[in-house]
Amino acid sequence: MAITSSAKKAIRSAARKRVFNLRRRDTLRDTAKSFLKALAAKDVAGAEKLLPSTYAAIDKAEKRGVIKSNTADRKKSRLAAALKRARA
């Protein structure tokens, strides 16, 4: 249990940040999932419209430290490859 006032404040701050990070991670997963569902439904045009918002969610998660840089790059690369396969 935290004793000093700064440690108590750090606990409060971490709890607030956790909510934001969870929300950011959920947004990331939801947008990626909707993109992949569009591809699975053979809706290539819809998937192309969803790709920028999915990239934005990945970039925001990376910027805030929710995911690491290489992870973000890998996710974007795999989404782009999936779209390319669907076009062919």
23-53: pLDDT as tens digits: 999 999 999 999 999 999 999 999 999 999 9
Question: What is the rounded distance in angstroms from the CA atom of residue 32 to the CA atom of residue 15?
Answer: 26
DSSP state of 53: H
Answer yes or no: is 83 within a domain. yes
Q: What is the mean pLDDT of residues 65-85?
A: 97
Check: CB of residue 23 under 8 Å from CB of residue 32: no
Answer yes or no: is 39 within a domain. yes
Answer yes or no: is 6 within a domain. no
Q: How far is CA 12 from CA 25, 27, 37, in A?
A: 20, 23, 38
Question: What is the rounded distance in angstroms from the CA atom of residue 71 to the CA atom of residue 62?
Answer: 8
Categorize the per-residue pLDDT at 88 as very low, low, confident or very high, splitting at 50, 70 and 90.
confident
Answer yes or no: is 47 within a domain. yes
Answer yes or no: is 16 within a domain. no
Count of the separate structural domains present in the chain: 1
Answer yes or no: is 5 within a domain. no
Residue 1 has pLDDT above 90, yes or no: no
pTM: 0.86
